[in-house]
């Protein structure tokens, strides 16, 4: 059962093909991650799927209904938490949720009850009587999501739900997303954060300049790039050039100098004996008098996946 199925979806603004032939198949009941840098076309794609923007080409089905020809049927089953969301700054948390619940057709007592329930679940009870313009970024994001699940939607679009949040607030939003999915809602999550897709999504589409450049489970994506990575942190930054040369030689790997001047990452080309290869490399470093403070051997991060897929880092992609 697919919650979303698109084929050749296109949206053009002037001569900018913002979404340029996107095929997606999103299984129901899962979190599907759409990962891409600024301007990749994420919001534009979501708006078409949520019936807010008309496609210029291709087709999109939501639970089997066409987003153009059967837009009303689609609207009845989806909800969107936008990058720039829709709660009223001048109203309190409670007033916003009650108002929106009333607009959705709930009677006043039911609206109040649902509002109180969500404020409690999202840790906003104390702030419930305050105007939303006085909320912190994390509180604001939580009230946005609460507003979008007043009626439990079958499909929830979360457009960059944690951009700009501190780590603690991001974790709270992640817990909320997990709780929403546990209730049976399918979530399409867009994000620029590779670790967010890694944490939440079961499948990921990487989009860049309007096109899907990779799609699959997290494991498949990582496997398509390389089998593993050795992360090292040195005691002395002056040793890094020598460590780089030694690692490249002993591991026969591409070595990346991280932004942290003490850190290096070696991308392994083959998974064969990766543990044995790495311990040999560590021994060689020790022989050369290079002290390693921390060492880990793991799958490549999604950051490395993006670099490998596009030949440029995420930051420079916009
Ligand atoms: N209404 C519009 N009119 C003209 N161009 C637009 C419009 N909306 C988006 N675009 C352009 O389409 C492209 C994709 O934009 P979109 O907002 O979908 O990207 P995004 O992946 O959501 O980026 P971000 O991570 O910054 O939110 C960009 O080049 C953007 O400038
Ligand atoms: Mg966007």
Which of 41, 192, 196, 207 to mutate to test ligand 1, by most ligand atoms within 8 A of the CB atom?
41
297: β partners: 230
* Mean pLDDT of the region 121-146: 92
Q: Grade residue 313 by pLDDT with cuts at 50, 70 and 90.
A: low
> Cα of 40 to ligand 2 centre, how many Å?
8
User: Could you tell me if the CB of 39 is within 6 A of ligand 1?
Assistant: yes
The superfamily CATH assigns to domain 227-299 is ACT-like. Chain A, domain 2 (3.30.70.1150)
Share of the chain above pLDDT 70, in %: 93
Helix (H, G, I), strand (E, B) or coil at 175: helix
User: Could you tell me if the CB of 44 is within 6 A of ligand 1?
Assistant: yes
CA distance 69 to 47: 16
State the pLDDT at residue 300.
67
State the pLDDT at residue 270.
63
Residues 195-210: tens digit of each pLDDT: 898 889 999 999 999 9
> Cα of 46 to ligand 2 centre, how many Å?
9
H-helix or E-strand containing 208? strand 203-208
**pTM to 2 decimal places:** 0.81
State the pLDDT at residue 238.
96
User: Could you tell me if the CB of 43 is within 6 A of ligand 1?
Assistant: yes
Pairing of strands 203-208, 65-66: unpaired
- Cβ-contact 207, 36 below 8 angstroms: yes
The closest-lying atom of ligand 1 relative to the alpha carbon of residue 11 is 12
Q: Grade residue 85 by pLDDT with cuts at 50, 70 and 90.
A: low
Most confidently modeled of 35-39, 40-44, 215-219, 305-309?
40-44
H-helix or E-strand containing 292? strand 292-298
State the pLDDT at residue 318.
42
Most confidently modeled of 51-65, 155-169, 222-236, 267-281?
51-65
State the pLDDT at residue 268.
78
State the pLDDT at residue 316.
47
Whose CA is closest to 36, among 57, 13, 15, 20? 20
State the pLDDT at residue 317.
42
Answer yes or no: is pLDDT of 240 > 70.
yes
Q: Grade residue 275 by pLDDT with cuts at 50, 70 and 90.
A: confident
Which residues have CB atoms below 5 A from the ion given as ligand 2?
Answer: 42-43, 83
Which residue puts its alpha carbon closest to atom 18 of ligand 1?
41
Which of 40, 190, 192, 213 to mutate to test ligand 1, by most ligand atoms within 8 A of the CB atom?
40
Pairing of strands 31-35, 211-217: unpaired
* Mean pLDDT of the region 159-166: 86
Answer yes or no: is pLDDT of 23 > 90.
yes
Helix (H, G, I), strand (E, B) or coil at 261: coil
The closest-lying atom of ligand 1 relative to the alpha carbon of residue 43 is 22
State the pLDDT at residue 236.
96
* Domain ranges within the chain, ordered by starting residue: 2-222, 227-299
Answer yes or no: is pLDDT of 20 > 80.
yes
Fold of domain 2-222:
Rossmann fold (3.40.50)
> Cα of 219 to ligand 2 centre, how many Å?
26
> Cα of 12 to ligand 1 centre, how many Å?
10
């Amino acid at each position: 059962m697919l919650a979303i199925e698109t084929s050749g979806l296109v949206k053009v603004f002037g001569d900018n093909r913002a979404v340029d032939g996107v095929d997606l198949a999103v299984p129901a009941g899962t979190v599907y991650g759409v990962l891409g840098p600024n301007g990749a076309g994420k919001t534009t794609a979501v708006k078409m799927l949520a019936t807010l923007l008309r496609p210029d080409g291709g087709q999109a089905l939501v639970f089997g209904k066409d987003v153009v020809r059967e837009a009303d049927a689609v609207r009845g089953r989806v909800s969107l938490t936008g990058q720039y969301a829709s709660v009223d700054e001048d109203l309190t948390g409670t007033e916003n949720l009650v108002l929106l619940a009333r607009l959705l057709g709930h009677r006043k007592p039911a609206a109040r009850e649902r509002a109180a329930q969500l404020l409690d679940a999202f840790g906003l009870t104390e702030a419930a009587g305050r105007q939303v313009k006085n909320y912190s970024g994390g509180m604001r994001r939580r009230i946005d999501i609460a507003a979008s699940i007043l009626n439990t939607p079958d499909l929830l679009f979360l457009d960059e739900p944690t951009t700009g949040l501190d780590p603690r607030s991001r974790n709270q939003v992640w817990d909320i997303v997990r709780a929403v999915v546990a209730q049976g809602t399918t979530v399409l999550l867009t994000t620029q954060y590779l670790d967010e897709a890694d944490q939440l999504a079961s499948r990921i589409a990487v989009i860049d300049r309007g096109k899907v450049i990779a799609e699959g489970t997290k494991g498949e994506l990582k496997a398509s790039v390389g089998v593993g990575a050795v992360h090292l942190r040195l005691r002395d930054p002056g040793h890094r050039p020598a460590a780089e040369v030694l690692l490249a030689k002993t591991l026969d790997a591409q070595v990346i100098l991280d932004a942290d001047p003490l850190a290096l990452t070696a991308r392994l080309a083959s998974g064969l004996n990766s543990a044995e290869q790495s311990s040999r490399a560590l021994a060689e470093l020790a022989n050369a008098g290079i002290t390693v403070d921390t060492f880990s051997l793991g799958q490549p991060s999604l950051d490395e996946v993006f670099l490998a897929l596009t030949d440029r880092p995420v930051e420079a992609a916009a």
